[in-house]
Structure 1
């Protein structure tokens, strides 16, 4: 190759059926641009290999296929095995050979990573038990429905918990790859790769996930993460003390950040988010007020009616009828 006798970062990729091409390609490009001087793309400092049981091409969710390069073999030849997920319908589960390979890798103390919904595949193999994992806000409820005893992190772009790594997908794959490059090759190599990809800076894992629509727009990362926690637990609202504890801060500190950024306390923000969801359900569904109260974390229909009237000057039923009339006139 050149004078470097062995790569300092060796990654094996396991692509799930109908995997997300962008997560895979973004991750690989960070490795590629870090592995060589300039834009040579030679796998000198980093080495990456697509693995499969039978060397068959793997089809992505976009239809594009990637050719596997090596059979599974001995996982200890890699520093990390990265599972790239995608669609989560029943036809996208890993086969028994892939599951056995991942379990063999875990037994050999090879670190495992899940990109996008790759963490679903790891969890299905029982390889995320006792670990924190990152799941996109878009798939948060899907994950809870399948793994009800686990509590995924959906307010960060990636999570590193000992020898398990996971990211929410999309551009966060680049930041997780940059984290590994920084760890094994140094910060300069990571910055170089991201700069060539037109990414301004390497983001830490605790950066809030973008994209989740919120009733309130916050600039403060701590406030944004708290708002995300509120929105992800609408039907069973967390106490403000619990949210603060989960975020690793005291309640008073969280309240100060809310006051400085939004001008309201966290409890008021929680009510506003739940009322926003209430209005959406009133507009888009035929659910009863009792059911909507259950889905938005109010004690009962009476509680929802009282809070809604204080905010809107109307009962939920009156608001729904006025909304229907406005849309019919439009």
Structure 2
């Protein structure tokens, strides 16, 4: 199916699965709504959207909010895109066979399909993602590996445009993907109009990294907080302490004193441990090699990275990856894992 000409209305059909997640749905559809009309009038002029499910009854989200009206599935050819939004994953997952059949019908009609949040799991269940990369939230990366071992999950970016298949990690990234499609079909001005009304400065690209789950306690010192923010922006390129001090408007000596007073550790060591935690996250949620991860985290070579990693986490990067991907092992969650050598992380 050829995309509509720039300026023609953009038509999107939403497939709302059982207990679909509300935020990615709301972010996506509100971006369409704001681009569809002048101001906040919400008329479906430049964009059209339809909510559908297999029953035609109101659809209940994971938080209990209900979306109505919902139509039974309509002819896929009516839409430029069909967006399927998945729900909460649990051991008793229900399979909506009617929805899967509809997605296969849409694929046969060459209508591009969008898997939003866990909606990508439905595309896989429908047999529509063979040989393709699937963007998934880091939070659901392990679920995908365990359920679909032949699929390549990607958890270090917001969304992937693979032509007639688009997959998105979900959450607020639903707005980024919607803006991307609005700009493609209606022009950048309409995409930016939506984002600015939504108080979003600009659309993040699909390659924009997902936020890493690095956890800190409450840090009162504003200078230390600002320094950490700069360090997070340079995870792959170590920044010198003199440069860091200059960036936050202080001396190196004062910076080191404030870190020790606030976190009990020098900023140099804090920066290295922060890069190690980033490496831990990449081991869990991407398929990059240990060598690639060491380079991406700013270490000179694999041996250097492995030595510091083992010192921090008690095992080598390869051992950690095996433990993370082995279905029979206890999961080591990088969201909570403690770096022994630095209690502040």
* 1:173-184 to 2 correspondences below 5 Å: 173-184=174-185
CA contact (8 A) 1:277 1:296 kept: no
3-state secondary structure, aligned to 2:203: coil
| 1:230 shift after superposition | 5.7
Q: Does 1:141 align with 2:176?
A: no
Q: Does 1:123 align with 2:173?
A: no
TM-score (norm: length of structure 1): 0.72
3-state secondary structure, aligned to 1:192: helix
* 1:28-177 to 2 correspondences below 5 Å: 28-177=29-178
CA contact (8 A) 2:58 2:70 kept: no
3-state secondary structure, aligned to 1:152: strand
| 1:225 shift after superposition | 11
| 1:148 shift after superposition | 0.6
CA contact (8 A) 2:212 2:278 kept: no
For the structure 1 residues 237 and 211, does the alpha-carbon distance in structure 2 shift closer, same or farther, using more than 3 Å as the test?
closer
CA contact (8 A) 2:37 2:43 kept: yes
Aligned-residue RMSD, C-alpha: 3.6
For the residues of structure 2 that align with 1:226 and 1:37, how far apart are their CA atoms?
48
CA contact (8 A) 1:230 1:238 kept: no
Query: Per-residue displacement from partner, 1:96-130 (whole Å, max 9, x unpaired)?
Result: 11111000000000000111111011111111112
Query: Per-residue displacement from partner, 1:13-58 (whole Å, max 9, x unpaired)?
Result: 0111111111111111100000011111111000111012221112
| 1:221 shift after superposition | 7.9
* 1:1-330 to 2 correspondences below 5 Å: 8-213=9-214, 218-220=232-234, 231-233=281-283, 238-240=289-291, 243=292, 255=295, 262=298, 264-265=299-300, 267=302, 268-269=304-305, 271-273=307-309, 275-278=311-314, 294-295=319-320
| 1:234 shift after superposition | 5.4
User: Which has the bigger relative contact order, CA under 8 A and spacing at least 6?
Assistant: 2
Q: Structure 2: where are the runs of 5+ without partners? A: 1-6, 217-227, 238-273, 324-338
For the residues of structure 2 that align with 1:132 and 1:225, how far apart are their CA atoms?
26
Q: Structure 1: where are the runs of 5+ without partners? A: 1-5, 245-253, 279-288, 299-318
Length, aligned pairs only: 271
For the residues of structure 1 that align with 2:130 and 2:275, how far apart are their CA atoms?
24
For the residues of structure 2 that align with 1:70 and 1:219, how far apart are their CA atoms?
45
For the residues of structure 2 that align with 1:181 and 1:76, how far apart are their CA atoms?
19
For the structure 1 residues 31 and 293, does the alpha-carbon distance in structure 2 shift closer, same or farther, using more than 3 Å as the test?
closer
| 1:93 shift after superposition | 3.6
CA contact (8 A) 1:181 1:190 kept: yes
For the structure 1 residues 83 and 229, does the alpha-carbon distance in structure 2 shift closer, same or farther, using more than 3 Å as the test?
farther
CA contact (8 A) 1:7 1:44 kept: no
CA contact (8 A) 1:274 1:296 kept: no
TM-score (norm: length of structure 2): 0.69
